[in-house]
Homo-oligomer: A and B are copies of this chain.
């Protein structure tokens, strides 16, 4: 989307914050802005790898989640909770995955309100291929040093727990 900038725009923002008398929150501001930007970079890489499979990250995540469920099926509300996205986002993803023949909707055997999402054979195969590609091309070359990976997992894990993501 552009060439490298001569200077780090986030470091500049941090300096601006300090210059305006907000030095006490300049560092967390910079950290949070860096998280936003890093997410954007990673998402672009992931989408790039998934594109040849006809998948987006949102759809891949759902496919991967289903592939780890023993039965290959999950209620939509369960998927929504585990992926931590709004139920309407799951509806949207399932619509498209179903159109692509990768999942099917089936009624819950005992609860008439619930819809199960079920992986098709084709969906399971594609999930495997896409995962292999992501492992090789993204996770295997994340650009994070081993020790930094551990730091990130620890720091962000604490943050997510405090934010109410999980009780653990």
Chain B contacts for A83, CB-based, 8 A: 9
Beta-carbon contact of A31 and B152 below 8 Å: yes
Beta-carbon contact of B41 and A160 below 8 Å: yes
Q: A135 contacts which of B8, B29, B34 (Cβ < 8 Å)?
A: B29
A131 CB, nearest partner CB in chain B, Å = 8
Copies in the complex: 2
Q: How far is the CA of A109 from the CA of B146 in the complex (A)?
A: 51
Q: How far is the CA of A18 from the CA of B168 in the complex (A)?
A: 20
Beta-carbon contact of B28 and A35 below 8 Å: no
Please count how many residues in chain A sit with their CB below 8 Å of the partner chain's CB atoms: 70
Beta-carbon contact of A156 and B9 below 8 Å: no
**Minimum CB distance partner of A5 in chain B:** B166
A115 CB, nearest partner CB in chain B, Å = 18
Beta-carbon contact of B142 and A148 below 8 Å: no
Residue with the greatest number of chain B CB neighbours at <10 A, chosen from A7, A148, A156: A156
Contact with B along A40-67 (1 / 0, CB 8 A): 1111000000000000000000000000
Q: A35-B39, A41-B165 are in contact. List 6 more A-B contacts (CB 8 A).
A: A10-B160, A22-B135, A24-B140, A27-B146, A32-B138, A152-B155
